[in-house]
Amino acid sequence: MANLPNKTITAVFELQRLLLQIINQAAELEFTILQQFGETEATIAELDEIQNVKERAISYYTRLYRLLLQLFQSQPIADSATLDLLTRSLTQTQAIANAGQASLLEIKRNWNLQ
- pLDDT band for position 2 (50/70/90)? low
> Where do the domains of the chain lie?
6-110
- Report the chain's mean pLDDT, rounded to a whole number: 95
CATH code for the structural domain at 6-110: 1.20.5
18-22: long-range contacts at Cβ-Cβ below 8 A with a sequence spacing of 24 or more?
A: 18/97, 19/57, 19/58, 19/60, 19/61, 19/64, 19/93, 19/97, 20/57, 20/61, 22/53, 22/54, 22/57, 22/97, 22/100, 22/101, 22/104
Supply the pTM of this predicted model: 0.93
Find the mean pLDDT for residues 15-34. Answer: 99
The H or E element spanning position 93 is helix 80-110
State how far the Cα of 23 lies from the Cα of 33, in Å rounded to an integer.
15
pLDDT for 39-72, tens place per residue?
Answer: 999 999 999 999 999 999 999 999 999 999 999 8
